[in-house]
Amino acid sequence: MEQELNPWRASEARFDIAADHLGLDEGLRKILRTSSKEITVHIPVQLDDGRLEVFTGYRVLHSGARGPGKGGIRFAPDVTLDEVRALAAAMTWKCAVVNLPFGGAKGGVICNPHLLSLGELERITRRYTAEILPFLGPERDVPAPDMNTNEQTMAWIMDTYSMHVGCTVTAVVTGKPLDLGGSRGRSEATGRGCMIVTQEALQLLGLKQEGARVVVQGFGNVGGTAAKLMAQAGFKVISIIEIDGAVYNPNGLDVEALWKHRAETGSITNFPGGENIDPGEAMCLECEVFVPAARENVITSMNAAGIRARIICEGANGPTTPAADEILQDKDIFVIPDILANAGGVTVSYFEWVQDRQGFFWNEDMINQRLKEVMVENFRRVVDCAKKYKVDNRIAANILALDRVAFAIKLRGIYA
């Protein structure tokens, strides 16, 4: 089971299968597996009590073959270089599968942000930015928020970079506040992207959207937004699963009321518009759509046989293990893999970068329409790829992504 739950082994296995289908030679595989740059910095910071502390930070650029690096920066006590390296590679494939002109990157600082003041976090962020500044830039590497970072963190990075280069450069990061060049529609983009590809899957399978039963695991930015938008679009959200429990209503939950209930009580449980239900039982409810949008490795060989959804739309990163994939395929469940399903966020981050570079900002309707165009086009490309190579959607998405990056490398050649 430990090997099954190792996300990096899962990623490597899927890479190998996709590369075999493409017939990639060993040299090209080595390039695709290897990071372009790996930066480790040590960040001296004076804490509020006067003590000096040294934090360690990382930034990894996996690939610049298709454009500047793109990927978040996380603050957490358990950040490792191996983790950042693997997440940077995952961003390369995610950007490629929706055909964005970006490579993959990721960053992290080893710290516990919950034990640090706002001032301490600002000093850590600014010194970290200054240390990796030669490698940042709208044409080099464009960070974004990730675990325990937010639009305020991005504002500090943007300001620090701008002070060093002597002018305001809003395009150096995405996920910024609207007043500093952020994009409309960004906060809802990942959940909206999940809904868009789910709509395409329903249409492909000849299923009706109106009244389609949905179970959502995770009620945060991704799962909560997906649930809200799906309910507004006519889906029937019958269950929401959270870390402390789950709620169920076979006639459909009032998602807006559930948001209010959690804001007031701190939990989704004991919601007047539904009944409490065991989270494991909720995952196995009969439904048209299951959206795992909480964390990795929630669908495993231990529970995959009990899943009774027709479609799984992976809002979270890595929610399904390779062993579970085989079971889901045998059950003829249509899986929309994470690197496609949750790519709405990075797509609207790309739109933010474009708007910043143009100095011209779009309204939300335009952003949502362009997001839909990107998600629909590449959903169909993944499905076509699955038919062509006679593989499941996950391997097809990996084939499409690897092919796009490998093609760029071949066109450019190897500089020596």
Burial group, residue 179, by CB count within 10 angstroms (0-12, 13-18, 19+): exposed
CA dihedral 158, 160, 165, 171 (to 10 degrees): -10
Strands (E), 93-252: 103-110, 141-145, 213-217, 236-242, 245-248
What the block records as the tokens of 119 is 């001032």
- Return all residues near 348 (Cβ < 8 A) that are at least 6 apart: 183, 185, 186, 189, 367, 371
* Calpha distance 119→385 (Å, rounded): 49
* Calpha distance 307→328 (Å, rounded): 8
Which residues does residue 237 pair with via DSSP β-bridges, in sequence order?
214
Burial group, residue 399, by CB count within 10 angstroms (0-12, 13-18, 19+): buried
The catalytically annotated residue of 94, 106, 176, 372 is: 106
Across the chain, how many H-helices and E-strands are there? 14, 12
State the DSSP code for 113.
G
Give the count of beta carbons closer than 10 Å to the beta carbon of residue 259.
15
Look at residue 296 and give its three-state secondary structure. Answer: coil
- Return all residues near 310 (Cβ < 8 A) that are at least 6 apart: 205, 207, 287, 288, 289, 333, 334
* Calpha distance 383→336 (Å, rounded): 10
Per DSSP, the residues of 129-152 read HHHHGGG-BTTTEEEEE-TT--HH
Asked if 236 is an active-site residue, the reply is: no
* Calpha distance 200→228 (Å, rounded): 18
What are the φ and ψ backbone dihedral angles of 147, each rounded to 5 degrees?
-55, 125
Angle at 346 between CA 344 and CA 350, to 5 degrees: 110
Distances 79 to 12, 61, 86, 111 between C-alpha atoms, Å:
20, 16, 12, 8
Q: List, by residue number, the catalytic residues.
A: 106
